[in-house]
Each structure stands twice: as C-alpha cells, then as structure tokens.
Structure 1
Amino acid sequence: MNDLQELKLRLIDEVENNKDELIEFCSKLIQIPSVNPPGNTTEITAFIENYLKEINIPYEKYESADKMFNLVASIGNAEGKELVYCGHTDVVPVGDLSKWDFAPFSGEVKDGWMLGRGASDMKAGLAGIIFATKMLKKLNIDLPGKLTLAIVPDEETGGEYGVPWLLKRGLVKGDGCLIAEPSSPLNPTIGQKGSYWFELEVRGEPGHGSLSPLAGRNAIVDTIRAIDEVRTLWDLKIDIPEETQPLIEVSKKYMREVENDRLKYQEVLEKISVNIGTINGGTKSNVIPDYCKVQVDCRLPFGITEEEVTEILKSKLDGLNIDYSIKRFGYKSVANYTPAENPICKSIVDNISFVTGKEAYGVMQWASSDARHFRQYDIPVLQYGPAYLPSIHGCNEKVRVEDIVRCAKVYITAVIDFLYQR
C-alpha cells in the first residue's frame, strides 16, 4: 500500500469518527431559511463564516447583489494545482405547507434521514465540501496544491450573482472543479444538456366577442396554432456528434440499470425537450384577445445550437402567417460536458469506487446547471452530491444521513488524488 492510499484511508476514518459534527453542521444549514426568491443569504453566510473561523481558514466575502453573498476560501499551496469545490446556499420556496409532513426548516434527523428544504438540493453537499476542507486544515495535511471553496448564492433563479459573477471577475480560477449538486450515489454528472428558454408573443386585433370569428383576429387562437408548431421541435432528428455518443450510451445504460424508473426517458438525451410552461392572454371573455404570451423551456442535446433552433422556429412560425415575436430569457447554453478521462472526473469517480467498493462512472444530466459557466472559462467540472432525487424541489425534501457521510469521504479523498497528480 502506498503512502497516498494510506493517507486516504486515514482521512476516511477521520470523517467517520467526526460524522456527528458533519451531520450537526448540515442540520444547522437547513435550519437557516435561505429561500430564493428573495435570495437573502446574509444569515447563512455569517454562519458559514463562523464555521471557517473556528479553524482559521482564510476567506473573502463578496456582496454581488443586495444581501447576496459569495464566500471564497482556500487552503493548501498556491504554487501547485488548484481544485475548486463549489456549492450554493440558496434553496427553492417550500410551496404549500399543508403538503409537508414535517417543518420545512427543521433540519431534523429521523430514522436515518436528514429532513428539510435544501436537504438534497444542496445543503447536504454544501456541508460535505466545507466539512472536508475543514478536516484537511484541522489535520494539517500538507497539500501540494490549493483547495478553494466557492460558496455562492442565487443558483436557484439562474445564478447571475453566483458562479458567473465570480468567474467574470477572476475571483475563482482552477484546474478542475466539483459542484456538490445532487446526483446518484455512484454516478456523478459529467455533462448537461443545453438550455433554450423563450417567450413567444402573438398579437391579434381586438373586437367584440359576439362577432368572433368574423371580426378581429384572435391572438389566443393563433397562439394555439403556434404552440402546435413549437411542440414539433421534439420530433426533429438531431445528429449527435461522434465524440459525445459514448457519453449518451453510458447514460442510457444508467437509466436502464440504475435509475430504471427513468427507462422511459432515455430518448430525451437525444431530443429537444419542449415544455409549454405558462400562457397568458386576452382581456375578458367577451373581447377578442389582441395578445397572448407563452413561455417555453427547451433543453438542447449535443448537435444543435440556440441559433439553429431559433431559425427552425422562425421557419415554422412564419408559415402560419401570424404576427409574433420571440424573446429569449433565463438560462442560455448549449450542451456541454467534461471528458470522463479528465483528471477531475477520474479523481471523483475513482474515489467513489475507493470509498464504496463499487463500480462508478459519469453520466449525462438531462437538465442544465452551473457547470456550464465553469466550462465557458475552460475549467473542467462535474457534479456529485448526496440526494434523495425524488424529493428535490418537492414537499418533504430529505436525504439519507449515510449518503451525506459517504460523499464527504469522497470529497476529502479526491482532493488527495487530484492535487498529487502531475
């Protein structure tokens, strides 16, 4: 057994021996409401600051927007490689309280589960990366490179004041990055689909409802026709680039063999998904509507760009002879990934296997994420974190305590592999 393997085994033992501190820390993070919107992370940021101060981990705090705070903390040797561990402090709203079986911000541990809003997305992962960093500092591990924590707000509403804000200003750099977002226990996500959100506005001519369809022009009726055309984006056959086909195939394997309840969704990896999310139009029932607005969420596979989708859309809608416009909003990205052989992917995947003794491999995510921002700045990145996936963004959000501990063990051992690699 070599020295690095012995060090990793020692670190795994240290996490196990101190897991009560990890679970308590996670519980307290959940107990601090940091709902976005509005996105006020003042209280949770101050709590994390105090946790870092306990072991003298230096950090910088940046207020990117009113009451939205980023923390950037580092340990190790600035002369070597740099690994970034990233997590967000904000959570989605709790929704209808009557549908919860427990208080959303209880942070209670019950029957092996950590309970509360953000348990899976992603305060358990956030707790794990901070705890792993603190343990490395506490044990005086002589790292040959630098480990940086990027703790950000504003991920749940698009992330404008979190990751992209830090990257644009050069406040976070690195040779590799892990985002502690929820994932399957053995399958981190190394690629994401692109995102294309747009608002379609259709204009008509008002008139008295009693004269419809002979008078005016009904914008809602024209919108119904337009929606039918928008939905045909799903039917397009996309030529998947050869270099990304192995990732698609291994992701289909994952959906067949691991999350087999996702078996029926396999084709979404190669298709443009289309969700008609909201529709608003008209004045009242007896007035021919002169406008209608529809917001649409499309996720793009490899092999097609935002610009190409826009041209296809315009071609379809122009053929309807309607008065319309398309306005982009929200997430904007093309499909992106980090190769499985990249050092950051290998460090995480290899240490998932090291910790669990089971086969691990990276897969494709059918949604989009902050990972795209790091790749835009040529920082290889993947996502891996503790989660009970069915509960994310829903009522009764929770995560298994054993998963929180397992991920912390992976985080702390992967630092060793990545920073010691030449």
Structure 2
Amino acid sequence: MDELKNLKLQLIEEVENNKDELIDFCAKLIQIPSVNPPGDTTEITTFIEDYLNEVNIPYDKYESAEKMFNLVASIGNGKGKELVYCGHTDVVPVGDLSKWEFNPFSGEVKDGWMLGRGASDMKAGLAGIIFATKMLKKLNIELPGKLTLAIVPDEETGGEFGVPWLLERGYVSGDGCLIAEPSSPLNPTIGQKGSYWFELEVRGEPGHGSLSPLAGRNAIVDAIRAINEIRTLWDIEIDIPVDVQPLIEVSQKYMREVEKDRLKYQEVLEKITVNIGTIGGGTKSNVIPDYCKVHIDCRLPFGITQEKVTEILENKLDALHIDYTINRFGFKSVANYTTAEDPVCKSIVDNISFVTGKEAYGVMQWASSDARHFRQHDIPVLQYGPAYLPSIHGYNEKVLVEDIVRCAKVYITAAIDFLYQK
C-alpha cells in the first residue's frame, strides 16, 4: 500500500510540475469551436489525435455521423480490469455575443479563471482526462489492466452519435467509468434523474380573428389549457424506492450545507419538474390559429417510469377534449444511479480526499447525462469534473484554473487505485 501511495504522490507532483501544459491544452480545446448543433468535431478531433500521437497512444477513430468523430484510446497491459474515462468534445451554442464580456472562444486565462464556451461543460474535464492518460504513458507507468479514453462528439443534443453509438457496437466496455462532466469540487454525481422531453402539438380550426371566440377553434388557447394541466405533474406525490432514499437524503444535505444556493431546490430530487421551453403557433394576429407546438422538458425522480408519465399525460389531456399529439424527442431515460460502494465510485471519492485532504461523498444530479447509457450497459459510472456551475450553458462561461489542476490529480491517482485493486 505504501508503494501505491508513493506512486500517487509522485503522480500528483508530476501533474503540478506540468500544469502549464494542461492549462495550455485546455485553452486550445476551447479555442476550437465545436458547437452542437451543427456538431462538426473534425478540427477538435484532429487536434486531440495530434496530442495523443506525441506519446504514441494508440487509438481508433469512428465517424458515427457526418463530421462527428469518436476517439477510443487505451493504455495499460490489458491483463486486468478496464477503467473508462469519458468526455465529450461538443459544446452548446454561445447565444447573443453582445452579452459576453469576452470572446467565447478565447481560451484566455484571467485572474485565475479559464474563460470560454465549454470551460466548465466540459473541455476542462476533457483536457484533464486526456492529460492524465498522456502523463501515465509518458512516465511509463506499468498499469495492470486497461485505461481507456472514450472521447465523444455528441452529448449536448442527446448523445445519439456518441456514447450509446460506441456502447451498442461494442467499441467501448469496461468495469467502471468516470465521465469528466462538471461537478462540485468534493461531490461527484453518482445518480441522476430521468428525462422525458416531448413536443405537444395542438390542432385547431382556422377562422377570422374578428369572430373569435365564436368562430373556429383556437389552437393556442387549447395549448394553454394543456400546459396548465401538464404543469400539474409537479404536484404528483411519488413513492421514492427505499434503496435510493439514502442517496436522496445525502444529496439534500449537500444542497443544504455545500451548495447552499441550492437549498430551495431540494424538492426537485423527489418531484417531476416541468419546463415549458418553447412555444409557437398561428400565422398572424387576425387569423384564428389552427396549430400550436410546445416543447417541454420534464425530469423524472426515482419511482416513476416513462410509460406511467405518458399515461398520466394522456389522461389529463384527453379530459380537455382537445385535438393533440405528443411526440417524444431528445433525452429519454429513467432515474439511475451507481452505488457509493462500487469500486469506481470509491476510487474517485477516496482520491478526491487524498488530493484535497477534505471529506468527499457522492450525490445525485438533478439533470441528465451520458452516464445513463453506461448504466444501461451494466457499467458502473459517476461524474466528476472541474466547473463553475452557475456559468454552465450561460454567458461568460468559466472555470477556476486550480480546479482544472485538482481534477487532473484526482483522475491520475484514481486510475492507479482502480486498476491495482484485485
């Protein structure tokens, strides 16, 4: 054990001594626009290939859709367990440029912050797992088993051509996985809510606006009635399964004591959340609209299935006697988790404490990610990565440089613990 501890201390020192390379690598990833949509990862994939080639890390490259590239790279002797480190190269659009205080693709470091789109979600984490793997290779560390990088192009729009594409074809497997998605410094996410995204299409009868509401049937008005019913999904009391109640409780403790600005959000872990995301319909103000489309994002807690939500929705909307259709799209999953006692969770949590000297524990995520796909393929998984959480998907995205370095230290030491465990 002392031998492994000394090796980990040596690796922490190597990360510290080479942190300028890590930060420069992260900056260059941010400087390459890889916005999804459209999802063209050609340039950033080529850049990562060149970085892996510097130390001759072998990899396979798969184009899962036009200009969407997956990289699968591995090191180790292959004679033991396999640990997967996963990250996505795509980022969400930048939105209104006038609302940014800096160039979203600058990759600038200022006052201890790495700036730019993807800094927190998740090019800093991506840089960390690639850098840690490269350091292990460069230092000729004899790893039992295999450490695999799964670098995917398509997470921000649902991930169809990234993680699930690789898993379904058997290009990636493993005994445990770490996704370098954003998290808090001491609390990786070991569970997540389910996702239920859908489009509500309401149809009406057109007519002259001057005769409304006596003429025609207003699809927008019917859609408003439907929306009011859909929002009542929040009010449903759901029985949380006994086996996940400890995870819910520790996650609520985290929201009370760590991310205290999340205190008011504790209920979301046990409720169906409902976001009315977009709405559109009609042709002009003096025409009774004959259609309305609404996009809605619901997140599901443990204790309810996709099918049950569909049944509830249809019962509510049928009672309105409107002409409607529900079309599913985007994320589709039920709540899922990996036990805190699983070796991959223990390896990450123990090494967060080893690196920081502070107590760490896993919590639940109220959103969704690629983790669900690994669990569907019976691969235990958790998420841990550098982030300034309030900036994710927003303007002026950023992350602390010290957090990037800390996470890289955790990645490199956790790989040692996981792969050397019998």
Q: TM-score range by the shorter chain?
A: over 0.9
CA distance in 1, matches of 2:194, 2:207: 41
Q: 2:154 is matched with which residue?
A: 154
CA distance in 2, matches of 1:214, 1:49: 65
CA distance in 1, matches of 2:209, 2:39: 43
Deviation at 1:241, TM superposition (A): 0.3
Deviation at 1:34, TM superposition (A): 1.0
Structure 1 unmatched ranges of 5 or more: none
Deviations 1:273-320 (A, max 9, x none): 001111111122222211111111100000001100000111111111
Q: 2:365 is matched with which residue?
A: 365
Aligned amino acid, residue 295 of structure 2: Q
Aligned amino acid, residue 149 of structure 1: L
CA distance in 2, matches of 1:357, 1:201: 53
Find out whether 1:302 has 2:302 as its counterpart. yes
Q: 2:400 is matched with which residue?
A: 400
Aligned amino acid, residue 12 of structure 1: I
Deviation at 1:2, TM superposition (A): 1.3
- Give the 5 Å matches for 1:54-65: 54-65=54-65
Deviation at 1:37, TM superposition (A): 1.1
CA distance in 1, matches of 2:222, 2:101: 44
Deviation at 1:253, TM superposition (A): 0.4
Find out whether 1:199 has 2:190 as its counterpart. no
SS at match of 1:278: strand
SS at match of 1:73: strand
SS at match of 2:201: strand
CA distance in 1, matches of 2:205, 2:261: 47
CA distance in 2, matches of 1:46, 1:199: 37
Q: 1:241 is matched with which residue?
A: 241
Identity, in percent, stands at 87
CA distance in 2, matches of 1:352, 1:390: 22
Q: 2:227 is matched with which residue?
A: 227
SS at match of 1:46: helix
Find out whether 1:311 has 2:311 as its counterpart. yes
CA distance in 1, matches of 2:321, 2:44: 53
- TM-score w.r.t. length of structure 1: 0.99
CA distance in 2, matches of 1:402, 1:276: 37
- Give the 5 Å matches for 1:349-388: 349-388=349-388
Deviation at 1:153, TM superposition (A): 0.2
Deviates more, 1:250-259 or 1:25-34: 25-34
Deviation at 1:222, TM superposition (A): 1.2
SS at match of 2:148: strand
The runs of at least 4 consecutive aligned structure 1 residues that moved more than 4 Å come to none
Deviates more, 1:367-376 or 1:320-329: 320-329
Structure 2 unmatched ranges of 5 or more: none
Q: 2:132 is matched with which residue?
A: 132
Q: 2:217 is matched with which residue?
A: 217
CA distance in 2, matches of 1:229, 1:91: 34
Aligned amino acid, residue 375 of structure 2: R
Q: 1:271 is matched with which residue?
A: 271
Q: 1:342 is matched with which residue?
A: 342
Q: 2:389 is matched with which residue?
A: 389
Deviations 1:340-363 (A, max 9, x none): 000000000000000000000000
SS at match of 1:167: helix
CA distance in 1, matches of 2:75, 2:39: 28
Deviation at 1:336, TM superposition (A): 0.5
Deviations 1:80-139 (A, max 9, x none): 100000001111111111111111111111111111111111111011000100111111
SS at match of 1:184: coil
Deviation at 1:39, TM superposition (A): 0.9
CA distance in 2, matches of 1:211, 1:108: 59
Find out whether 1:175 has 2:175 as its counterpart. yes
Deviation at 1:220, TM superposition (A): 1.3
Aligned amino acid, residue 183 of structure 1: S
Find out whether 1:256 has 2:256 as its counterpart. yes
Deviates more, 1:261-270 or 1:97-106: 97-106
- TM-score w.r.t. length of structure 2: 0.99
- RMSD of aligned alpha carbons: 0.9
Aligned amino acid, residue 371 of structure 2: A
Deviates more, 1:349-358 or 1:280-289: 280-289
Q: 1:115 is matched with which residue?
A: 115
SS at match of 1:413: helix
Q: 2:291 is matched with which residue?
A: 291
CA distance in 2, matches of 1:313, 1:118: 35
Corresponding pairs, count = 422
CA distance in 1, matches of 2:208, 2:33: 50
Find out whether 1:324 has 2:324 as its counterpart. yes
Aligned amino acid, residue 129 of structure 2: I
Aligned amino acid, residue 369 of structure 2: S
Deviation at 1:38, TM superposition (A): 1.1
